[in-house]
Chain A
Amino acid sequence: AQSVTQPDIHITVSEGASLELRCNYSYGATPYLFWYVQSPGQGLQLLLKYFSGDTLVQGIKGFEAEFKRSQSSFNLRKPSVHWSDAAEYFCAVAPSGYSTLTFGKGTMLLVSP
């Protein structure tokens, strides 16, 4: 069965600094990969997704992610963090051809002034 690991439970970044959130997956083939963001007490919003093609994916709010097959990773990046980016971020994976997603446990991003 596929699995997703987000190694960092919490990350604190200074406003204006760069950000990288890690995501590793375990699956035999290339899965479909997603990053979602959740503000406190709210639903999830899709930031970006990777299905095939260019391994660098651009998303909303200035986020990007890079798929690295050799490392089974799909890390999320942002060059300059804003205070409004403080939220919980979830990586998700699904094997191609199926409908359900497997989510990581999330990384809470805190932004310091």
Chain B
Amino acid sequence: DGGITQSPKYLFRKEGQNVTLSCEQNLNHDAMYWYRQDPGQGLRLIYYSQIVNDFQKGDIAEGYSVSREKKESFPLTVTSAQKNPTAFYLCASSISIAGVPPRNTDTQYFGPGTRLTVL
């Protein structure tokens, strides 16, 4: 079955530690996205990538970093610079033509999410 997988489902981190969240898709989508969800706040865009080896900051990129070395994978690192990292993190992907900004007619498909808790 095609889809998006995120691991782990639950993640605990001590203050001051970096942690990496995994996102893998086998939908052959070019575009991938990371969102942060807090209770009552909806989803906010952290980073997105239109093509391998390229990515753009979203609305709340401070304290986060990403890489896009493979089309299927878009890992998110939550660094110690992120002051309030406890949240639910969602990865998404959409069809895109490589090298062209994604058309908004391409639906975003979401993974099951990772809940990060800082202890």
A: residues with CB less than 8 A from B are: 4, 9, 32, 34, 36, 41-46, 49, 51, 90, 92, 94-101, 103-106
Q: Are A49 and B107 in contact (CB under 8 A)?
A: yes
Chain B residues with Cβ below 8 Å from A34 are 107
Chain A, Cβ-Cβ closest to B108: A101
Chain A, Cβ-Cβ closest to B4: A43
Q: Indicate which residue in A43, A51, A106 contacts B113 across the interface (CB closer than 8 Å).
A: A43
Q: A42-B113, A43-B90 are in contact. Are A104 and B42 (CB under 8 A)?
A: yes
Please report the number of residue pairs spanning A and B whose Cβ atoms sit closer than 8 angstroms.
Answer: 65
Chain A, Cβ-Cβ closest to B106: A99
Q: Indicate which residue in A36, A44, A98, A104 contacts B104 across the interface (CB closer than 8 Å).
A: A98
A51 to B22, CA, bound (A): 32
Q: Indicate which residue in B40, B41, B104, B111 contacts A96 across the interface (CB closer than 8 Å).
A: B104
Chain B residues with Cβ below 8 Å from A104 are 42
A97 to B112, CA, bound (A): 27
A41 to B89, CA, bound (A): 11
Q: A98-B101, A106-B42 are in contact. Are A44 and B31 (CB under 8 A)?
A: no
Chain A residues with Cβ below 8 Å from B104 are 32, 51, 94-99
B85 proximal to A (CB < 8 A): no
Q: Are A90 and B45 in contact (CB under 8 A)?
A: no
Contact residues of B between 97 and 119, Cβ < 8 Å to A? 101-105, 107-113, 115
Q: A46-B108, A95-B104, A99-B101 are in contact. List 8 more A-B contacts (CB 8 A).
A: A9-B40, A32-B105, A43-B110, A94-B104, A97-B103, A97-B104, A100-B58, A103-B35
